[in-house]
């Protein structure tokens, strides 16, 4: 459909021209030929009108026919003024010889291609910036060889800095013998038809792409890229605001477009090479949706209250209708603040609506080119906004679902862990009790032996070793049985700092022995919390012990207590050997240990206790650097 | 001399406690299970009973219940590997509850403490 529409009129023009020109075999561009062409062009125009091209979307609305009238007048003036009538039919003409050298070109093409010097004598690809030269796609060559040639859709920037979509059609010019000596290159402005066709096509394709995009940020960028892409709506800039129901405001989310005229020029210089198809747009999106431009940053900082609703974006959302502002300076709907931030005198606001519910608004303008915003364009944009809103809703729903899923997995992990704890607990307690009896015997008898006098001192030393080992085993057993059956916490209001202070005092000697320097940083006025002091002390001891054990050659141990939001945060920072990523993942697993004499229950018990208090433990560690254990306890 | 009945199914442990408590100057009578223990009490009521709870042929608490119902004045110390029995309200009837350990100091201290208390009570009740 694309081709059919956009080449509809050019085909006819070409055929007419070709038939007339081929009557003038020999081809000398003299006055008579030019005047002949003049007649032809007149005929073509009449023909075009007669065929009712207006109905074929190109010249659909009133605006366009007005333009056409202006066009007509201008044409007549210019025709009188300027002998070269070929310039006014709005077709670029350029005659090539067999070497693809230009022997003649009309003004239109020179203007369109923004040529500074006469193109006569240049090669065609130099002025057209054509990359097909020498390939089998070269339209001129194809025509010389008896085939046909055309290049559909090239974007150019004209002398007037207008972005324009053109088609090049090569037409053979034959001499008396029927040999092709020249090729006439016709360049046809297909911008309008291109735009409309592509807009519709894109709407459909983008609709599909959008509904398939569940990543909200990416989706928003896709939407605004469509609004600004010359290939689609072609606005200079676009911003997107979404409603935040909780605060009843519109939040600026994203803006796309150049931040200054210089940037705009820069971008449009290579616009034709940048986005050449929908696929390009989508590909580009994958790595560019996190754009960092002043315009985007500014937009993200914008917030408008919905309840006061004086702002034009707010009333657009409330009325659920697009608003075109033609003269912002004198439009009472636009506040000064908005006008100043936006900086454009003409812009359009289109609401994003799904199921009759506003979701947000798109604001678009042509601040750099000053191109007027037509109602027709706004209508299409409104249609597009409908699709966009639906896609946004999908993405939001998806995000909510994903959050819920994450929550669920986390709860599940917790469940599994406590289940594991329970099983390990009952198993452990059974084993522990079975072991305790023989242990009592070993230790007890060893002790009774130690009362005897031995002549060999070695016997005494060996008995002491047995006693030490038994004691160690018994401590492990106590740990396990405590762990398998943690008592119900007896909570009272206590000062966390005091508990920590006590624990540190308890460890004073031990720290000195190990050359560990202790630094205490307690924030003043830490509130009391409802906790079981014995249990919390046990936790502090476990964690401080671990920290000291990680610093066999001494180091610094910092204990920080602060309030964060409604919680107390206790950081225990060591400069010890740290943990590998693997170890870090497992420290809360019961019986995980990397120590030759460790039981591996310290952290598991600590986490259980802290969770029973409604808090949490977060461990950060770097291998070879040290470890930070952060405990949080809610204050109420 | 103060007689203590030790009800304990573990043979080696019986031997250990016997040795250790004898050194403290007590007369020790032993029993390997609940039934035997009850028999020994009926034969000659001891000044104190130390028992495990997890003993075969009548479990400890059951035995304890029977002894208590007939000989209200004999103090009982539960000495066991199972700390969980601490929560069983029947065990509250015991005069002390000790978790077994190779270090017998706690047990020895408890015995002394209870015996002193008993002696005091007896003195108070004796008419002059
Ligand atoms: N501050 C720390 N620095 C380095 N590793 C640590 C630190 N804290 C914990 N770990 C690692 O986590 C493991 C588990 O710690 P946890 O306290 O649970 O058991 P443990 O210290 O090995 O034995 P125990 O039950 O005697 O405390 C340790 O073996 C150690 O590898
Ligand atoms: Mg530890």
pLDDT digits (tens, 9 = 90+) for B10-66: 888 899 999 999 999 999 999 998 889 989 999 999 999 998 887 777 777 777 777
Going across the sheet that includes B96-99, the strands are B27-31, B3-7, B48-51, B76-80, B96-99
Q: Determine the average pLDDT of the residues in B68-95.
A: 72
C-alpha span between B68 and B112 (Å, rounded): 20
Name the residue of chain A whose CA is nearest to B10's CA.
A437
> Looking at residue A322, what is its pLDDT?
93
C-alpha span between A367 and B79 (Å, rounded): 90
CB B14 within 8 A of CB B37: no
Q: Determine the average pLDDT of the residues in A391-406.
A: 81
C-alpha span between B117 and B111 (Å, rounded): 10
Kindly report the number of other CB atoms within 10 A of residue B8's CB atom: 26
pLDDT digits (tens, 9 = 90+) for A324-345: 999 988 888 888 888 888 888 8
How many alpha carbons lie under 13 Å from residue A525 in its C-beta half-sphere?
1
Domain boundaries defined on chain A: 10-195, 200-401, 487-634
CATH class of the domain comprising A487-634: alpha beta
Cβ of A626 closer than 6 Å to ligand 1, yes or no, is no
CB spacing of B82 vs A442 below 8 angstroms: no
Asked if CATH classification 3.30.230.10 holds for the domain at A200-401, the reply, yes or no, is no
Q: Is the pLDDT of residue A591 over 80?
A: no
**Structure tokens, B32:** 């390997």
Q: Is the pLDDT of residue A518 over 90?
A: yes
SS3 state of residue A407: helix
C-alpha span between B37 and B65 (Å, rounded): 12
C-alpha span between B58 and B38 (Å, rounded): 10
Q: Is the pLDDT of residue A57 over 50?
A: no
Q: Is the pLDDT of residue A577 over 50?
A: yes
What's the CATH code, domain A10-195? 3.30.450.20
pLDDT digits (tens, 9 = 90+) for B58-75: 777 777 777 877 787 888
The answer to whether A10-195 and A487-634 have equal CATH topology is no
CB spacing of A440 vs B83 below 8 angstroms: no
CB spacing of A440 vs B102 below 8 angstroms: yes
Q: Determine the average pLDDT of the residues in A93-103.
A: 86
Q: Is the pLDDT of residue A50 over 50?
A: no
pTM of the model: 0.41
Tokens 């969770």 belong to residue = A611
> Looking at residue A39, what is its pLDDT?
60
Q: Is the pLDDT of residue A7 over 50?
A: no
Tell me what percent of the residues of chain A surpass a pLDDT of 90.
Answer: 19
Tell me what percent of the residues of chain A surpass a pLDDT of 70.
Answer: 74
CB A295 within 8 A of CB A255: yes
Residues in chain A: 636
Mean pLDDT score across all residues of chain A: 78
Tokens 């324009």 belong to residue = A164
Say how many CB pairs under 8 Å bridge A and B: 51
Kindly report the number of other CB atoms within 10 A of residue B5's CB atom: 25
Test mutation, B81, B85, B99, B104, chain A, max A CBs within 10 A = B81
CB A442 within 8 A of CB A463: no
Q: Shortest Cα distance from A559 to chain B (angstroms)?
A: 35
Q: Which of B82, B24, B21 is nearest to B49 (CA)?
A: B21
Going across the sheet that includes A516-522, the strands are A516-522, A555-564, A567-574, A626-634, A616-622
> Looking at residue A273, what is its pLDDT?
42
Cβ of A603 closer than 6 Å to ligand 1, yes or no, is yes
**Structure tokens, A571:** 């950081």
Tell me which of A57-71, A130-144, A199-213 is least confident.
A57-71
For the CA of A607, the nearest ligand: 1
Domains of chain B: 3-125 (3.40.50.2300)
Residues 6+ apart with CB under 8 A from A304: A241, A249, A250, A311, A313, A314
> Looking at residue A202, what is its pLDDT?
64
C-alpha span between A608 and A487 (Å, rounded): 11
> Looking at residue A487, what is its pLDDT?
58
Q: Determine the average pLDDT of the residues in A289-300.
A: 77
Greater confidence, B54 or A53? B54
**β-strand A237-244 against A357-365: which pairing, if any?**
antiparallel
pLDDT digits (tens, 9 = 90+) for A225-284: 878 876 667 788 999 999 988 888 999 998 888 887 777 766 655 444 444 555 666 666
Tell me how far CA of residue A551 lies from CA of A503, A511, A555, A578, in angstroms: 18, 10, 6, 9
H helix runs in A212-328, sequence order: 216-228, 261-269, 271-274, 278-286, 294-300, 312-319
Tokens 């210019």 belong to residue = A78
pLDDT digits (tens, 9 = 90+) for A419-443: 666 676 667 777 777 788 888 889 9
CB A224 within 8 A of CB A241: no
Greater confidence, B100 or B82? B100
Q: Shortest Cα distance from B12 to chain A (angstroms)?
A: 7
**What one-character-per-residue DSSP string does A445-470 give?**
HHHHHHTS--SSHHHHHHHHHHHHHH
Q: Which of B8, B79, B16, B2 is nearest to B46 (CA)?
A: B2
The band of A49, judged by pLDDT with boundaries at 50, 70 and 90, is very low
């Amino acid at each position: 459909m694309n081709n059919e529409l956009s080449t509809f009129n050019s085909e006819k023009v070409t055929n007419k021209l070709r038939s007339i020109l081929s009557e003038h075999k020999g081809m000398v561009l003299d006055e008579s030929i030019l005047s002949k062409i003049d007649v032809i062009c007149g005929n073509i125009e009449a023909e075009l009108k007669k065929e009712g091209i207006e109905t074929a979307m190109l010249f659909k609305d009133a605006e366009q026919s007005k333009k056409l009238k202006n066009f007509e007048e201008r044409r007549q003036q210019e025709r009188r003024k300027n002998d070269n009538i070929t310039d006014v039919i709005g077709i670029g003409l350029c005659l090539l010889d067999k070497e693809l050298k230009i022997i003649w070109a009309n003004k239109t093409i020179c203007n369109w291609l923004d040529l500074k010097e006469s193109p006569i004598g240049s090669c065609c690809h130099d002025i057209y910036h054509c990359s097909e030269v020498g390939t089998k796609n070269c339209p001129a060559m194809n025509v010389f060889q008896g085939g046909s040639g055309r290049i559909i859709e090239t974007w150019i920037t004209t002398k007037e800095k207008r972005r324009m979509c053109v088609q090049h059609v090569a037409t053979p010019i034959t001499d008396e013998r029927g040999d092709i000596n020249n090729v006439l290159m016709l360049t046809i402005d297909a911008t309008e038809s291109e735009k409309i066709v592509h807009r519709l096509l894109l709407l459909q394709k983008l609709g599909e792409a959008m509904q398939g995009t569940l990543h909200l940020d990416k989706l928003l960028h896709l939407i605004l890229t469509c609004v600004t892409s010359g290939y689609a709506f072609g606005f200079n800039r676009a911003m997107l605001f979404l409603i935040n129901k909780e605060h009843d405001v519109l939040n600026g989310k994203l803006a796309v477009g150049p931040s200054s005229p210089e940037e705009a020029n820069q971008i449009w210089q290579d616009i034709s090479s940048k986005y050449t198809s929908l696929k390009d747009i989508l590909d580009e999106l994958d790595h560019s949706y996190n754009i960092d431009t002043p315009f985007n940053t500014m937009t993200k900082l914008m917030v408008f209250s919905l309840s006061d609703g004086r702002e034009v974006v707010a009333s657009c959302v409330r009325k659920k209708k697009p608003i075109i502002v033609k003269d912002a300076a004198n439009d009472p709907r636009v506040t000064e603040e908005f006008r100043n931030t936006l900086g454009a005198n003409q812009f359009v606001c289109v609401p994003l609506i799904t199921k009759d519910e506003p979701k947000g608004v798109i604001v678009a303008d042509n601040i750099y080119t000053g191109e007027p915003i037509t109602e027709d364009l706004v209508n299409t944009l409104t249609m597009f906004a409908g699709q966009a809103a639906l896609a946004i809703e999908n993405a939001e729903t998806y995000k909510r679902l994903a959050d819920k899923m994450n929550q669920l997995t986390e709860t599940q992990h917790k469940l599994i862990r406590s289940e594991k704890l329970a099983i390990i607990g009952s198993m452990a307690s059974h084993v522990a009790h079975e072991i305790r009896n023989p242990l009592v015997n070993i230790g007890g008898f060893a002790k009774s032996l130690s009362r005897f006098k031995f002549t060999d001192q070695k016997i005494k030393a060996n008995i002491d070793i047995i006693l030490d080992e038994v004691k160690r085993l018994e401590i492990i057993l106590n740990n396990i049985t405590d762990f398998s059956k943690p008592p119900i916490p007896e909570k009272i209001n206590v000062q966390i700092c005091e508990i920590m202070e006590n624990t540190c005092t308890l460890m004073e000697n031990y720290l000195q022995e190990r050359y560990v320097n202790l630094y205490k940083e307690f924030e003043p006025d830490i509130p009391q919390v409802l906790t079981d002091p014995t249990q919390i002390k046990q936790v502090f001891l476990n964690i401080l012990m671990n920290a000291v054990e990680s610093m066999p050659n001494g180091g610094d141990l910092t204990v920080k207590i602060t309030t964060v939001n409604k919680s107390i945060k206790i950081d225990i920072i060591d400069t010890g050997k740290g943990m590998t990523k693997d170890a870090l993942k497992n420290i809360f697993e019961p019986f995980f240990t990397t120590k030759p004499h460790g039981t591996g229950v310290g952290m598991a018990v600590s986490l259980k206790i802290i969770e029973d208090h409604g808090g949490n433990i977060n461990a950060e560690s770097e291998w070879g650097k040290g470890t930070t254990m952060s405990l949080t306890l809610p204050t109420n | 001399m103060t007689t203590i009945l030790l009800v304990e199914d573990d043979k080696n442990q019986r031997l250990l406690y016997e040795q250790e408590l004898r050194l403290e100057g007590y007369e020790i009578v032993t029993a390997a299970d609940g039934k035997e223990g009850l028999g020994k009490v009926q034969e000659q009521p001891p000044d104190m009973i130390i028992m495990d709870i997890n003993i075969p042929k009548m479990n400890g608490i059951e035995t304890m219940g029977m002894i208590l119902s007939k000989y209200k004045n004999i103090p009982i110390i539960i000495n066991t590997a199972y700390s969980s029995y601490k929560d069983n309200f029947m065990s509250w009837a015991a005069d002390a509850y000790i978790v077994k350990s190779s270090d017998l100091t706690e047990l020895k201290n408890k015995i002394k403490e209870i015996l002193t208390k008993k002696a005091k009570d007896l003195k108070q009740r004796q008419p002059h």
